[in-house]
């Protein structure tokens, strides 16, 4: 078990290396010159050059990369070019708001999605099944920025029930989390439904019915456990989707998280923050996938025991 974990972690290193090269390359390919932005409109060319050297943006691109990669490995993420605060501190402040928002969204959307999927599968072809799948498709189809604005207009502006944005109490979570999770819930519902329908046709489900078990015991005890195995894999992918979705939702709801930080950093060409943040997303994604594989093995004895 431990050796499996270590092997998996070691296997992640080449992925991180590749990601770091891409991130660095893309960020530096962005149009715009951070030194000029930093220096302001009045600065002379000599001043701009001095700032450029100070920011570590002089010399050929590969040597810039090596310098950055070397520092990153040692845990020195540098200083934000915008606020002059250490990058670790900037990201640290924003980490938990995003993490909580993502986790809360993940939990409710998975529970609701799986539940709705099973509900539909059990009533396959009925009006209830079709209605819930229409809801599910709509859930995927709503652009989250638009849905977010609609919710703000209704619940905050007109009804005054919920705050328009910000972070702090549980009321602050309701709309952002709903906006973020609804797409995931919809995908989960559709996927669970089809996995469940497929498993329900299997021979062992017939065996379970032949024991005299009721339809609901067969569904929850025999069918669902098998249907959840592919759903677990999907959960990992959806988690990545949520991290990405947070960028839009946090902007709409002024959520003080990593997503908004990324948007702000990109518009200010704050290279150290952008790079550190995308590396953080990659590490999170790798860890989630590792967790998903472990869960997958836990749910599937054939994988676990071989």
- β-strand partners of 86: 79
Considering the complex, what minimum distance in angstroms separates the CB of residue 192 from another protein?
A: 16
DSSP tally for the chain: helices H, then strands E = 14, 0
Write down how long the chain is. 306
Cα–Cα dist 26/240, whole Å: 20
Taking alpha carbons only, the member of 114, 239, 137 closest to residue 180 is 239
- Judged by CB under 8 A, does residue 214 bind another protein? yes
With CB under 8 A as the contact rule, the residue among 22, 107, 225, 244 that binds another protein is 225
Q: Which stretch binds another protein (CB under 8 A): 13-21, 201-209, 262-270, 285-293?
A: 201-209
CA-to-CA dists, residue 170 to 1, 106, 134, angstroms: 39, 16, 29
Site mask, another protein, residues 4-33, x = CB under 8 A?
x--x--------------------------
Closest contact distance (angstroms) between CB of 301 and another protein is 5
Question: Measured from the CB of residue 128, what is the shortest distance to another protein in angstroms?
Answer: 18
Neighbouring-strand partners of residue 79? 86
From candidates 81, 226, 251, 289, binder to another protein by CB under 8 A: 226
Angle at 105 between CA 104 and CA 106, to 5 degrees: 90
196 interacts with another protein by CB under 8 A: no
Rule CB under 8 A: is residue 273 a binding residue for another protein?
no
Q: Does 3 bind another protein (CB under 8 A)?
A: yes
Using the rule CB under 8 A, which residue among 69, 213, 280, 292 binds another protein? 213
Taking CB under 8 A as the criterion, the residue among 37, 57, 174, 299 binding another protein is 299
As a whole number of angstroms, the distance between CA 37 and CA 35 comes to 5
CA angle 12, 18, 19 (to 5 degrees): 85
| Residues in contact with another protein by the rule CB under 8 A | 3-4, 7, 202-204, 206-215, 222, 225-226, 229, 299-302, 305
């Amino acid at each position: 078990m431990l050796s499996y974990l270590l092997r998996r972690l070691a296997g992640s290193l080449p992925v991180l290396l590749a990601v770091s090269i891409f991130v660095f390359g893309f960020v530096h390919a962005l149009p715009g010159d951070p030194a000029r932005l930093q220096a302001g409109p009045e600065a002379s060319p000599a001043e701009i050059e001095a700032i450029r050297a100070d920011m570590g943006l002089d010399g050929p691109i590969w040597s810039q990369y090596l310098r950055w990669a070397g520092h990153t490995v040692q845990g020195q993420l540098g200083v934000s070019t915008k606020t002059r605060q250490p990058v670790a501190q900037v990201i640290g402040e924003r980490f938990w708001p995003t993490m909580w928002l993502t986790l809360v969204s993940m939990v409710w959307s998975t529970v609701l999605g799986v539940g709705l999927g099973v509900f539909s599968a059990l009533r396959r072809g009925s009006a209830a099944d079709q209605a819930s799948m229409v809801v599910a498709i709509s859930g995927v189809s709503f652009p989250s920025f638009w849905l977010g604005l609609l919710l703000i207009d209704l619940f905050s502006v007109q009804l005054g029930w919920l705050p328009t944005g910000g972070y702090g109490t549980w009321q602050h979570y309701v709309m952002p989390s709903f906006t973020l999770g609804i797409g995931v819930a919809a995908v989960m519902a559709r996927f669970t439904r089809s996995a469940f329908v497929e498993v329900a046709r299997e021979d062992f489900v017939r065996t379970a019915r032949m024991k005299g078990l009721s339809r609901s015991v067969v569904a929850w005890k025999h069918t669902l456990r098998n249907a959840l195995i592919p759903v677990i894999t999907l959960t990992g992918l959806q988690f990545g989707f949520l991290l990405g979705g947070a960028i839009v939702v946090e902007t709409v709801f002024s959520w003080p998280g990593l997503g908004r930080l990324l948007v702000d950093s990109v518009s200010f060409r704050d290279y150290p923050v952008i790079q550190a943040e995308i590396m953080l997303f990659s590490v999170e994604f790798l860890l989630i996938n590792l967790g998903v594989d472990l869960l997958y093995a836990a749910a599937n004895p054939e994988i676990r025991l071989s």
